[in-house]
Structures are given as C-alpha cells and as structure tokens.
C-alpha cells in the first residue's frame, strides 16, 4: 500500500496534511489500480505559519491554489479508507510503502487513525534502500533514474514505485534468489564472531575496489549508518 502525503511542514505539533494519495501494487510492484488523490483544506493557522520554502513549493506545484476547495480531514480519511478497504479488505495485511514514509505515517497516525490502523505496522521505505545502495552499490546509486520531485502526492508515489523497481533490478539478487545451502552459509558468515586477530575495517575503500566518481555537485562520502 503506497501512500504519499503533502503537508504544510514536518512539525507534528503545528503542521497539517494538505494532500494524501494512495496506490496499490502487488509484490512484484505491478500497479493494481489508478490510485486516489485527495486534497485537504487545512486550518488557517497551519497556512499562516508555513515556511517560505514550503509555500513556494506548494505554489509551484499548483497545490496551494486548490486548498480552499479541498475536503475536510474527516471526509478525506473516509475517502482514502474506503479506497484502501476496497482493494485490501483485510486489516493489518498491507505494509505501508513510500519514500521516507515514516514521516507520512506520523501524520496519518495523528489525523487518520482509522486508516493507520488498517495498515500493517511494518513499512517499506524506498529511501532506506536508496541509502544502502549509496553505501554498498554506489554505481547503481549514481545511475538511478532522476526523479521529477514535483511534490504532488500521486505523481510522487508513481516515482517511488519506479525507484524501487530500479533498485530491485540493479542491486537485489535475481529471483528466486539463493538456494537453501547458500542462504545457510550466508547466515553462518553473518553470525560468526569476528576473530580477535582480524584487522579492524578500514575507513577507506579497499585498494582493489573500483573507483566510483559521483556526478558533479554530489558528495562521494558514504556517510554512516
């Protein structure tokens, strides 16, 4: 269950939902419906305290001009929940998927608790996959398709699905994956205690590792987990 939200900001204490979109895929990332997008009329106080960068973003996308005619929060939750239940009737079955979707979930839990309760507690965060690819498979990370980043909820969801499709093809083991023996061996290696005589991991890349140059203007530092 893919959900993307647009807000007046990221502060749960002060900001408001202004758009929610939902899209359903199967486990192979095949889109199963046309999706649903609802625009929500926020409290005036949330609009008044909106930062300039967010106001500019929602003005450029066209969302800001639609807010006055948006649904109430209760109407929006009902519309989204009906759509979700039609496609996934069983509660706690579908995990929530998207980019940095923990932020979206915080607003859903606050403002759409019935919808949040229908979703599985687990999430599939494409941004986490991207961050791991940046550290472990930098060539794949830098070759990833460029996203438009238009900050409209339904369009952003489609881009998230495409992004996960790309990483599934570029960095994941092809299906059906390793056999049981190979999986067991990998588990044993992962659980094996490090030898006391093993050298500490170097903070720099191995001399045998191929060099990867990031595009101009991007950082090559892998960061930390």
Cα separation, 92 vs 118, in Å, equals 5
Strand 123-125's sheet: what is its strand order? 36-39, 17-23, 2-7, 96-98, 123-125
Annotated active-site residue 167? The verdict is: no
Q: Are strands 36-39 and 17-23 parallel, antiparallel or unpaired?
A: antiparallel
**Contact, 135 vs 225, CB < 8 A?**
yes
Out of 121, 137, 141, 166, pick the active-site residue: 121
| Residues with catalytic roles | 121
């Amino acid at each position: 269950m893919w959900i993307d939200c647009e807000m007046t900001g990221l502060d749960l204490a002060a900001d408001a939902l202004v758009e929610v979109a939902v899209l359903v895929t199967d486990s192979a990332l095949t889109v199963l419906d046309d999706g649903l997008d609802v625009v929500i009329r926020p409290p005036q106080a949330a609009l008044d305290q909106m930062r300039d960068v967010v106001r500019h973003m929602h003005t450029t996308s066209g969302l800001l001009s639609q807010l006055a005619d948006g649904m109430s929060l209760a109407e929006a939750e009902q519309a989204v929940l009906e759509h979700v239940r039609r496609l996934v009737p069983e509660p706690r079955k579908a995990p929530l998927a998207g980019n940095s979707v923990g932020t979206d979930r915080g607003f859903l839990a606050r403002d759409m608790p019935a919808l949040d309760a229908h979703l599985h507690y687990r999430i599939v965060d494409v941004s986490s996959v991207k961050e791991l690819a940046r550290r472990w498979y930098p060539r794949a990370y830098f070759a990833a398709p460029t996203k438009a980043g238009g900050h409209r909820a339904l369009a952003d969801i489609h881009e998230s699905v495409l992004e996960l499709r790309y990483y599934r093809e570029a960095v994941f083991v092809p299906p059906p994956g390793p056999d049981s023996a190979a999986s067991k061996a990998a588990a044993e290696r992962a659980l094996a205690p490090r030898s006391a005589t093993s050298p500490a991991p170097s903070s720099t890349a191995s001399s045998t590792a191929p060099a990867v140059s990031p595009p101009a203007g991007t950082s090559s530092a892998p960061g930390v987990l």
